[in-house]
Structure 1
Amino acid sequence: MQLRKSSKKQAKIKLAMQGCAGSGKTMSALLLAYGLCGDWTKITVIDSENNSADLYAHLGQYNVLPLEGKYAPETYIDAIKVCEKAGMEVIIIDSMSQCWDNLLEYHACLPGNSFTNWQKVTPRMTSLIQMILGVNCHVISTMRCKQDYVLSEKNGKMVPEKVGLKAVMRDGIDYEYTIVFDINIKHQAIASKDRTNLFANKPEFTITPTTGKIILDWCNDGVTLEMIKAEISKAETIEQLTSVYQQYPEWNQQLLADFTKRKTELLQSKSETHPISYQPNFTRINHADRIINFAATACQ
């Protein structure tokens, strides 16, 4: 356990969008994804919504990975691995709610105690969340919301308006994401959670590719592996190298070979700069003189 100074690393955004049916979650996710990477071919929609992702094909040639009715967490995990292996930059999971519904159905069918049976469900969902957080891609997860109707005034009349309530997902799921956007029926978003502080306390707005570009700038503002490697190569003393090592403990394992190589170079350079001066502390006796002296002594 060691104290260190805080430092922001470059990151891949993990973002959630939640809203009721018809709020525009899929299209908003696609527009934001394009802003993140600027290349439709580097975007994949993991589609659990009966191929609804194809409805927006006019936007660009993004990729679609249908789940075809298989909504177990393990299926989502496999789909994410496929996207990462294919070199995708942005993964849209549309939507996560089917996965949770699948787990609820599985839990309901388990025999025995309902409370203890959650031990068979929670780890599976946790594995999916860990995959989302750990994958080296931007991830946008959409989630359905339970909906209700409220009366609101419009043109002097009270008309019913559909509103989203709680997301159809495990409680506390918003803790796992960096940004959570709530999207209303007018396709306007507001940040209910925002660790970036880019959208906190801001009025409702419509998501566009510009939104993705703003988030991308935040993601790219931080320490990268290449930056630390440059600091390692610039270290001119063992003390400076040790300082870099202690400043970024979370990178130490990944950069162990670089630290070791630079340490060897510094030690070798120090040895060449200050060569060892060897001075014998005894007087060498000529071997021939020893023979002569021995012969003279023997003749006496």
Structure 2
Amino acid sequence: MSFTFAPATREQAKARVALAGPSGSGKTYTALSLATNMAPRVALIDTERGSASKYAAGKLGAGFTFDTLQMSKYDPRDLVKALAAAGQAGYGAVIVDSLSHFWMGTGGMLELVDSIGKRSGGGGQWGGWKDARPFERAMIDALLSYPGHVIVTMRTKSEWVIETNERGKQQPKKVGTKAEQRDGIEYEFDIVGDLDLENTLVISKSRCDELSGAVINRPGSDMAATVLAWLEDGVEVPDAVDLVAEAMSPALTVDGALALHAKTERHRLLGAAILHPETGAPMSLGDLIVERGRQLRANGGRPSGTQGPTQPPRPMPGPGTTGAGVTAPAAGPGAPDRQAAIDALRSAALATGVERTIEADFRQSYGVTVEDAPVAAIREMTELLRGAA
């Protein structure tokens, strides 16, 4: 692997904001105030029994205009599907109110870990964490790669403290402490703030210099304008919608699919949650590109609707690979025997950290098991993994 540095380029981006606070601090109101000032169409994923709808515009015109999806179970895989549907519908901003439910609510990560651990027998909860972590990672990837602004709210555990007021008298005050989410979740967002019961937002983390350390009472249009100005100060980059269109282009070739996979990875969008353009099934953008590449390879490497000879196509990346395709030489006299080829494949899988999924990856890429595949196909996948190492 070569390590080549290049000049950093500031790119335009979408907001990734997390608002934490105790009950009554105005998390939903603040999220709606920001989102509706940042995008013309807003979707809100409601885990709070429809409470967000109380902020919808009424007959007198007061309130916010937005669409809502109510959820009662909080499997992280369902949030991925909801985000894919919101992206397909073209919502410029999506609010998850609250993300805490997908951690500690019914069917959330904690319950998922417990149920997987019990089913797996040995390993207990540790085994549950190992198997459930990919679902949480896919959920975070879907949030971060959504083709619009994302604002999440998080509950904090509340406690009472005694403070001295402006008259010098002590009085109790309700405060939020730790967010009800996994440790380190704040690292995933560009802007993180804590709300108190006076609806004052204290920015605890910001990649936007102007908001770093800011204390904002009743944040709304002014903060939204600041965030938008910061996000738009850069070169324009494709989003998941653009890349889906490229993947489905009739002119796409195998080499074009490989280049598109690398481009999508460069923009950190392989995990973007989308709906399949033809079947409507939820999937990742990376999986769609791989699927298109396999279709083209099955068509002899030709773009859709074309005929005639073509150059032998390069292999499409399988799940867990980086997209660096290398065509292995055809098997012939003197080629390693089958067991040696299989051993080499497993060694390459171990080196790239995909040893647990290599059987499924290989079957998905070639339509046969490793044991039944031609030696040339085994060697081809081995070289592909070595190129990704």
In structure 2, relative to structure 1, the CA distance for the partners of 1:63 and 1:251 (3 Å cut) is closer
Match for residue 135 of structure 2?
124
Match for residue 16 of structure 2?
14
Kept in 1, the 8 Å contact 2:44–2:69? The answer is yes
Where in structure 2 are the equivalents of 1:64-213 lying within 5 Å?
64-67=68-71, 69-101=72-104, 102-109=108-115, 110-111=117-118, 112=122, 113-154=124-165, 155-213=167-225
Kept in 1, the 8 Å contact 2:205–2:213? The answer is no
Counterpart Cα distance in 2 of 1:15 and 1:27: 14
Where is the helix percentage greater, Structure 1 or Structure 2?
1
In the TM superposition, what is the alpha-carbon distance from 1:251 to its structure 2 partner?
8.3
Deviations 1:151-176 (A, max 9, x none): 11234432211111110001100000
Gaps of 5+ in 2: 58-62, 239-261, 268-389
Match for residue 302 of structure 2?
none
In the TM superposition, what is the alpha-carbon distance from 1:225 to its structure 2 partner?
4.3
Aligned length: 228
Counterpart Cα distance in 1 of 2:94 and 2:219: 17
Match for residue 32 of structure 1?
34
In structure 2, relative to structure 1, the CA distance for the partners of 1:225 and 1:25 (3 Å cut) is closer
In the TM superposition, what is the alpha-carbon distance from 1:213 to its structure 2 partner?
1.3
The code of the aligned residue for 1:64 comes to T
The code of the aligned residue for 2:15 comes to I
Match for residue 2 of structure 1?
4
In the TM superposition, what is the alpha-carbon distance from 1:252 to its structure 2 partner?
11
Counterpart Cα distance in 2 of 1:36 and 1:61: 13
In structure 2, relative to structure 1, the CA distance for the partners of 1:83 and 1:4 (3 Å cut) is same
The code of the aligned residue for 1:168 comes to E
Kept in 2, the 8 Å contact 1:9–1:221? The answer is yes
In the TM superposition, what is the alpha-carbon distance from 1:3 to its structure 2 partner?
1.4
Identical columns (%): 32
Kept in 2, the 8 Å contact 1:19–1:144? The answer is yes
Counterpart Cα distance in 2 of 1:90 and 1:182: 21
Counterpart Cα distance in 2 of 1:163 and 1:61: 30
Q: How much is the aligned-residue C-alpha RMSD, in angstroms? A: 2.0
Kept in 2, the 8 Å contact 1:71–1:98? The answer is yes
Counterpart Cα distance in 2 of 1:115 and 1:196: 38
The structure with the largest alpha-carbon Rg is: 1
Kept in 1, the 8 Å contact 2:98–2:152? The answer is yes
Deviations 1:28-55 (A, max 9, x none): 0000112212x2xx00110011001101
Counterpart Cα distance in 2 of 1:76 and 1:178: 20
In the TM superposition, what is the alpha-carbon distance from 1:147 to its structure 2 partner?
1.1
Kept in 2, the 8 Å contact 1:35–1:211? The answer is no
In the TM superposition, what is the alpha-carbon distance from 1:204 to its structure 2 partner?
4.2
Q: Aligned to 2:129, what secondary structure does the other structure show?
A: helix
Deviations 1:68-108 (A, max 9, x none): x1210111111111111111000000011110012112223
Relative contact order, CA 8 A, sep 6+: which one is greater? Answer: 1
**What TM-score comes out, normalization by structure 2 length?**
0.56
**What TM-score comes out, normalization by structure 1 length?**
0.72
